[in-house]
Amino acid sequence: MPLDVLITGSSGFIGSRLAIRCNEAGMNVIATSRTINKKIELDIGLPLKKLDVLSTDLQYQEIEAEVILHTATANEFVSKDFIAGINLSVIGTRNILELAARQGIRKVIFFSTVQVYGTEMNGEISEKSSVCCESSYALNHFMGEEVCRMFALKHGIDVVILRPSNVYGVPDTQMINRPPLVPMSFVKEAKEEEKLKIRSSGLQRRNFISNDEVADYCIELLNNFPNGCEVINIVSNFTSSIKEVAEMTAKIFYQRMGKKLKIDFLSNEPLQSNNFILKTKLDSLKPTVKESKKKFEEIIWKLFINEQERTNIKNGQG
């Protein structure tokens, strides 16, 4: 029998890719969203079920599912409003877990972030490393994690807390707009301005994982779900400085446009790179360094194409 999977935030950047990939894997996907959009339904190839994690109507929802993938937490935009971020990531998560407990859904995957270890990580980071929240975005996700731990203990729900690194990829629908994400933000600025303004020295290093790789981790977990409450980092083998990503974007811009892309660094901070190694309990799922870098470059190419499509739509050409 196909696994019945409910996905919150299915109209979002990560949720939409999970809905598509789980459907392709033969699962019965219940794709949910706060608002229903026919264009998104067409793009992801699934109907959307209305589900607002902050609605008082949630207590009356009847859900036929075996597992919940909860991605409807506060992104970078929402987290700028501290109260809104806490409401969505903490209250919304509590509401989803109460729904799961009431409906007898015993498996939940909660999407957190590696930023709970700190903004500029150094050294070796594993699931056992200390938490050091340095932003509202990290804090509201960690508090959501604590809600998960409470429900796992109180209601015996098996919960996986996923901490992805910097997720990148091509949005599954033109309705998704996440300009702060790198390299998406670089591609957008390159297309619009034909230059990049980096508001730092660019020496800070990040680990980048594609939304497809995130889906790979999730599908593996759905097929081999751990017991209890488990924290798992989901990371790739591609770690790069922001400067190197900007240079990679400029190289592909030149290959596509035949023009040089000017890069301006507006600060000399940080003065040196942070060096870290991100560990994961699912290390066997990580692609090689070569594969991860190739994937990153391919996505930059596709983002340039996607950005052109956005421009055509805006200008009434598509």
Identify any residues that bridge with 196 across adjacent strands, giving them in sequence order: 263
Residue 310 has pLDDT above 70, yes or no: no
How much is the average pLDDT of 229-242? Answer: 97
- The whole-angstrom separation of Cα 162 and Cα 110 is 6
| Phi, psi of 6, rounded to the nearest 5 degrees | -100, 130
pLDDT-based confidence at 313, cuts 50/70/90? very low
How much is the average pLDDT of 229-249? Answer: 97
Residues 108 and 200 in one domain: no
pLDDT-based confidence at 311, cuts 50/70/90? low
Q: What is the pLDDT of residue 64?
A: 87
CATH number of the domain where residue 13 is located? 3.40.50.720
Residues 132 and 252 in one domain: no
Residues 163 and 298 in one domain: no
Residues 192 and 61 in one domain: no
pTM of the predicted protein model = 0.94
- The whole-angstrom separation of Cα 1 and Cα 24 is 15
Q: What is the pLDDT of residue 314?
A: 53
Residues 147 and 213 in one domain: yes
CATH number of the domain where residue 269 is located? 3.90.25.10
174 located within any domain: no
64 located within any domain: yes
135 located within any domain: yes
pLDDT-based confidence at 200, cuts 50/70/90? very high
Range of the domain at 264: 184-206+238-274+282-311
What letters, b where the CB count within 10 A reaches 16 and e where it falls short, cover 124-162? ebeeebeeebebbbbbbbbbbbebbeebbeeeebbbbbb
Give the type of residue at 285: L
pLDDT-based confidence at 179, cuts 50/70/90? low
| Cβ partners under 8 Å of residue 79, min gap 6 | 85, 135, 136, 137, 140
Q: Which residue has the higher pLDDT, 178 or 224?
A: 224
Residues 54 and 112 in one domain: yes
Residue 216 has pLDDT above 50, yes or no: yes
Structurally, how many domains does the chain consist of?
Answer: 2
Residues 15 and 38 in one domain: yes
- Render pLDDT for 131-144 as a digit per residue (tens, 0 to 9): 999 999 999 999 99
Residues 223 and 268 in one domain: no
pLDDT-based confidence at 255, cuts 50/70/90? very high
What letters, b where the CB count within 10 A reaches 16 and e where it falls short, cover 213-250? bbbbbbbebbeebeeebbbbbbbbbbbbbbbebbbbbb
Residue 312 has pLDDT above 70, yes or no: no
- The whole-angstrom separation of Cα 155 and Cα 165 is 29
176 located within any domain: no
75 located within any domain: yes
How much is the average pLDDT of 237-248? Answer: 97
Residues 127 and 223 in one domain: yes
Residues 101 and 191 in one domain: no
177 located within any domain: no
Residues 264 and 227 in one domain: no
- Render pLDDT for 75-132 as a digit per residue (tens, 0 to 9): 988 999 999 999 999 999 999 999 999 999 999 999 999 999 999 999 999 999 999 9
- Render pLDDT for 2-43 as a digit per residue (tens, 0 to 9): 999 999 999 999 999 999 999 999 999 999 999 999 999 999
Instruction: Say how many residues make up the chain.
Output: 318
How much is the average pLDDT of 54-59? Answer: 86
**Under DSSP, is residue 196 helix (H, G, I), strand (E, B) or coil?**
strand
Percent with pLDDT over 90 in the chain: 87
316 located within any domain: no
Residues 155 and 212 in one domain: yes
Q: What is the pLDDT of residue 80?
A: 92
74 located within any domain: yes
Residue 290 has pLDDT above 60, yes or no: yes
- Render pLDDT for 89-102 as a digit per residue (tens, 0 to 9): 999 999 999 999 99
For the chain, the C-alpha Rg in angstroms (whole number) is: 20
Please, what is the Cα angle at 98 between 97 and 103, to 5 degrees? 95
